[in-house]
Structure 1
Amino acid sequence: MKLKMYHWQGINRLNQKQKGVLIAESEQIARQQLLNRGLQQIKLQQNWQLSTKPNQAEICDTLLQLAILLKSSVPLKNSLLILLQNCTNIQLNSWLHQLLNQIETGLSFSQALQNQGQFLTLQERQLIQVGEMTGKLATVCNQIAEHRQQSVALQRKLQKILLYPMMVLGISVILTALLLIFIVPQFADMYGDNQAQLPFFTQVLLFLSDLLQQYFWLIAVLIVGIIILIKRQLKSSIWLNQLKIKLISNTPMLGNIVQLSRLVGFCRGLHLMLKSGVPLNQALQSFLPQKKTWQNKIELQGDLTLIQEIQSMLHWITHGYAFSVAVGAELFPMQAQQMLQVGEQSGQLSQMLLHIAESYQQQLDHKIDLLSQMLEPLLMVVIGGLIGLIMLGMYLPIFNMGSLIQ
């Protein structure tokens, strides 16, 4: 089933102009859907936008709307129909359509998700199964949506911080390349055939300038190819993932932010599982990547450090150790480990996990704000330093000549 996106305009029963976006298999089906809504004088225009995977925010909004509809006592099938009608992402619309078809064949919601669970994690599918069994599907969907909202909010904060430095670094690279391609050659012509007597740093800049002029497009294609290759290898290479983790952890501030983010996300997720009545071992297993039926091996996904920590926890728990003893310092700081022990001894492990998440969330927010304030002056120094070094390298021979004259 190939779905298409249409922009539509029409007039409703009150003679008011309406417009929007609609996903349908064909123009005829789209027109019929709009007629069923009571619209007239319909104008349709197909949008040739490519089918893209829905982002975290779109999935989160879908789950939140489903929770609201279920809480309002709207039946599950009708709730999915309403979501389907308002969904403007082709892949997400197709997913909802397949879920609806499977539910109509007699499968439960959790069984349909198990067959079409590409946009939900194993953890979320298990929570929905528990919600169905306990009659609290609306509550569980709402909790999943809230958990996703917190994750999306944190992700957006990090993206906001990293977007500015990436733009600045990109501009710095472009300016440096322009200087090497257009400005440095003019100095090279001025120095003529005496380049062998120039200072070493000036000779390096002239060599880089000559290299960029002759092989600019080859270098650009090579850099893009290396980036694509690294992204692909990150899905399967354990060594490359470990190198990435090591680089991030050794980066000042950023390593601490990633560690706190990992701890907060894990504690919130595990709290949600335990609160819904999922056993500890099963809850921990839900954080691990699962092998699809069509895959020959498990694809590396998620946080490798977290996966290794959870595997270690499961190993020690199966050997009879308590959860608070099985956790490692790589994930839980000593203070958090002590809080876990108190929560486990008092039978309030789920609530203690939430308390740990909220406590370390405050530290995480402070670190993120601090990093955002530090990056701007630091990046200005980087830009000024790159341009200054090039100018220094070009004028260095002139300075040397001035010192010889004196």
Structure 2
Amino acid sequence: MEPTAASTPSLAENPVLGTGFNDAVSVLEIGEESDMIPQTDLAEHGLAYWYRRLNDGIQSFSTISLKDKVTFFQLLSIMIEAGVPLVKALYVLADQMKNIRFKHIIATMAQKIESGKSFSEAMEDFRGVFSDTQIGMIHAGEASGQLNGILKQVGTQEEKNSAVTSKIKGALIYPAVVMIIMFGAIFVILAFVVPQLMQLFTQGGGELPTSTKILIALSDFVVNSYLTIFAGLFVGIGGIYVWKRTAGGAYHWDNLMLHLPIVGRMIRNMSLAKFTRTLGSLLNSGITIVKGLQIDADAIGNKVYRQRILLAAEDVSRGIPLAENLTDSRFLFPDMVVSMISIGEQTAELSTVCDKIANYYDEQVDQMASNMSKLMEPLIMVTMGVIVGGLIISVMQPIFSLLDVVGNL
């Protein structure tokens, strides 16, 4: 049975692909007599040709998004389920992907498989693109002969991770943008508006209000030290970036993020959802719990959770149940999670229980992201009102005083 647009309505017009899934199928049909997918004839000249070459060169350094990988695993699963050989399916996807870098990686993996490597071994050569979780699950799928089912699991898992990440970013982007605009406006007022009004303030004579004196002092500092301010911001942000890339810095930064009010709880919930979802998928694919925990630790993306999960893997390898091992880390693993994991271990249904925990925390993250947006909006508006109101009062007080003086003349 061939995959058609009717059978894959959600993928037919996928923006990640160059011309859609239907074109991929037509390319496949055209290529039935050849193992190689026909490549676009680049023997053309003129401005359009060189523009395309330049654009391809720039895109070769582009990042590969979660959306790209979700589409890749979903379409690969559909093709293999339809009976398309793995190598040919990879060449089809390589031809159809819009991301030039990902296009090259997929084609290279197909060539490596043709030369004798397994799919998981080919993926290992691109660990910066594919995670240990994905590689481990694909390896388990190859060993068990259930590659198509594992590909579906990987695609579903990546899709859920992408959705959770998008929700977190969506909740944080709005307040961040508003704060940046607000501080930018304050900087412009202090650097350009207040200095113009200072002459008016000094000409009026008399004692200036305390708020106006503070405003003038801030304006003088910004005007005379703006280079120092920008240099300090640059050095500070750069220093934090470099510090975060060290082992100790990354751990302490992640620990700080986990303890922040509101945001810390959201990060913990997101980490628990990812931890349990990944572990459940790995166990479903036939990977042992010790190996699954080791892979999960590297995939979770938080150094504090990573260290704790690796310790749990060591204890589980010595025969200590996972739930018993996590009881002393209630901040990272709440009692509800530990209790459900214990039930899963006792009933030999740990993978199913992990999926249920992940679904629960996905809902928690969704609700928190929605509530955060609702709570942050009035908080930001009040903050902006206080700051703007203070600026207006500081500027208008001496002006009113000056008008009173003029009126009494």
Alpha carbons of structure 1 residues 75 and 348: separation in structure 2 relative to 1, 3 Å? same
Alpha carbons 2:341, 2:353 under 8 Å: kept: yes
Take 1:402 and 1:244, find their aligned partners in 2: how far apart are those partners?
56
Alpha carbons of structure 1 residues 171 and 132: separation in structure 2 relative to 1, 3 Å? same
- The answer on 1:122 being equivalent to 2:123 is no
Take 1:113 and 1:402, find their aligned partners in 2: how far apart are those partners?
75
- The answer on 1:278 being equivalent to 2:287 is yes
Take 2:206 and 2:133, find their aligned partners in 1: how far apart are those partners?
65
Partner deviation per Cα, 1:216-273 (whole Å, 9 max, x = no partner)? 355335423432332232121524642453255222x222211111111111000001
Q: Please identify which structure carries the higher strand content.
A: 1
- The answer on 1:303 being equivalent to 2:309 is no
- The answer on 1:132 being equivalent to 2:145 is no
Amino acid at match of 1:261: M
- The structural deviation recorded for 1:279 is 0.6
Partner of 1:48: 54
Aligned counterpart in structure 1 of residue 111 of structure 2, from 101, 104, 117? 101
Partner of 1:264: 273
Partner of 2:39: 33
Partner of 1:186: 196
- The answer on 1:58 being equivalent to 2:57 is no
Alpha carbons of structure 1 residues 196 and 78: separation in structure 2 relative to 1, 3 Å? farther
Take 2:338 and 2:331, find their aligned partners in 1: how far apart are those partners?
11
Partner of 1:333: 334
- The structural deviation recorded for 1:109 is 1.1
SS at match of 1:48: helix
- The structural deviation recorded for 1:70 is 1.0
- Tell me the percent identity: 24
Partner deviation per Cα, 1:183-232 (whole Å, 9 max, x = no partner)? 22233223328999645543332222123223435533542343233223
SS at match of 1:326: helix
Alpha carbons 2:254, 2:302 under 8 Å: kept: no
- The structural deviation recorded for 1:47 is 5.4
- The structural deviation recorded for 1:62 is 1.1
Take 1:179 and 1:346, find their aligned partners in 2: how far apart are those partners?
65
SS at match of 1:53: coil
Take 1:194 and 1:208, find their aligned partners in 2: how far apart are those partners?
20
SS at match of 1:168: helix
Aligned counterpart in structure 1 of residue 238 of structure 2, from 224, 228, 234? 228
Alpha carbons of structure 1 residues 177 and 379: separation in structure 2 relative to 1, 3 Å? same
Root-mean-square deviation (CA, aligned residues, Å) is 3.0
Take 2:298 and 2:71, find their aligned partners in 1: how far apart are those partners?
24
Take 1:195 and 1:118, find their aligned partners in 2: how far apart are those partners?
66
- The structural deviation recorded for 1:57 is 1.0
Aligned counterpart in structure 1 of residue 260 of structure 2, from 250, 256, 259? 250
Partner of 1:356: 357
1:6-17 equivalences in 2 (<5 Å)? none
Structure 1 stretch displaced more, 64-73 or 265-274? 64-73
Partner deviation per Cα, 1:328-381 (whole Å, 9 max, x = no partner)? 312321122111111111111111111111222222222221111112111111
SS at match of 2:297: coil
Take 2:101 and 2:217, find their aligned partners in 1: how far apart are those partners?
50
Alpha carbons 2:124, 2:130 under 8 Å: kept: no
Q: Which runs of 4+ in 1 moved over 6 A?
A: 193-196, 398-403
Partner deviation per Cα, 1:163-187 (whole Å, 9 max, x = no partner)? 2111111110111111112222233
SS at match of 2:296: coil
- The structural deviation recorded for 1:398 is 6.7
Take 2:401 and 2:379, find their aligned partners in 1: how far apart are those partners?
31
Gaps (5+ residues) in structure 2? 1-17, 20-37, 43-47, 405-409
Amino acid at match of 2:238: I
Amino acid at match of 1:168: V
Number of aligned residue pairs? 358
Amino acid at match of 1:170: I
Partner of 1:85: 95
Partner of 1:313: 312
Alpha carbons 1:165, 1:375 under 8 Å: kept: yes
- The structural deviation recorded for 1:282 is 0.4
Partner of 1:26: none
Amino acid at match of 2:78: I
Alpha carbons of structure 1 residues 136 and 126: separation in structure 2 relative to 1, 3 Å? same
Alpha carbons of structure 1 residues 198 and 321: separation in structure 2 relative to 1, 3 Å? farther
Structure 1 stretch displaced more, 272-281 or 48-57? 48-57
Structure 1 stretch displaced more, 368-377 or 230-239? 230-239
Partner of 1:294: none
Alpha carbons 1:281, 1:314 under 8 Å: kept: yes
Alpha carbons of structure 1 residues 385 and 342: separation in structure 2 relative to 1, 3 Å? same
- The two structures have a TM-score, normalised by structure 2, of 0.79
Alpha carbons 1:268, 1:353 under 8 Å: kept: yes
SS at match of 1:287: helix
Partner of 2:160: 150
Structure 1 stretch displaced more, 257-266 or 389-398? 389-398
Alpha carbons 1:248, 1:255 under 8 Å: kept: yes
SS at match of 2:52: strand
Partner deviation per Cα, 1:111-147 (whole Å, 9 max, x = no partner)? 1112233211112111111111111111111110110
Take 1:198 and 1:367, find their aligned partners in 2: how far apart are those partners?
47
Alpha carbons of structure 1 residues 137 and 243: separation in structure 2 relative to 1, 3 Å? closer
Take 1:264 and 1:352, find their aligned partners in 2: how far apart are those partners?
12
Partner of 2:389: 388
Amino acid at match of 1:258: I
Take 1:174 and 1:248, find their aligned partners in 2: how far apart are those partners?
29
Take 2:219 and 2:258, find their aligned partners in 1: how far apart are those partners?
32
Partner deviation per Cα, 1:90-126 (whole Å, 9 max, x = no partner)? 2212211221221121111111112233211112111
Take 2:290 and 2:346, find their aligned partners in 1: how far apart are those partners?
18
Take 1:48 and 1:218, find their aligned partners in 2: how far apart are those partners?
39
Take 2:362 and 2:128, find their aligned partners in 1: how far apart are those partners?
29
Aligned counterpart in structure 1 of residue 187 of structure 2, from 177, 180, 184? 177
